[in-house]
Amino acid sequence: MPSPRIQATREQLAHSVLPQYGEAALAERVLTITDGELDRIGELAAYYAWSQDALELLGGSMGGTRAMCLATIDVLEGNMRDPRLSQSLQESHWGSPKPDSIQLEQEHSLRLRATGEGKPASDA
């Protein structure tokens, strides 16, 4: 059975997702990624947004747009850095609170689990 994934095109990532988080350079780069990289981004994004680990660690879904942005950073840069903007332009427009340090640490823990460096809650 294939892993769940968020199906996004290179163009959706470049024009709709990454600019929301201030990732202009990554948005340009994503237009030339391989199919394998695109599949891995979709797989990681689904894990970040909807996996049991994500729901337990974050107390709910981080949302598909943020998950796709983080997954793109992780796949293409391999460094698990935070997005250039801590919240999307849409969230900022709505007046949503920015993620606090605890939320960012929880996201980082989830990202480590995806690489196998962090232990799942069942193994803790």
Q: Taking the domains of the chain in order of start, what are their residue ranges?
A: 10-119
Q: Give 8-25 pLDDT, tens digit per residue.
A: 999 999 999 999 999 999
C-alpha span between 124 and 122 (Å, rounded): 6
For residue 61, name the pLDDT band (cuts at 50, 70, 90).
confident
pLDDT of 76 over the 70 cut: yes
67: closest CA among 121, 9, 18, 124?
Answer: 18
Q: Is-contact 52 64, C-beta < 8 A?
A: no
Q: Give 87-120 pLDDT, tens digit per residue.
A: 998 888 898 888 899 999 999 999 999 987 655 5
Alpha helix (H) residue ranges in 51-88 = 52-58, 64-76
**Mean pLDDT score, 66-81:** 95
Per-residue model confidence (pLDDT) at position 118: 59
For residue 121, name the pLDDT band (cuts at 50, 70, 90).
very low
Instruction: For residue 124, give both structure tokens.
Output: 């803790």
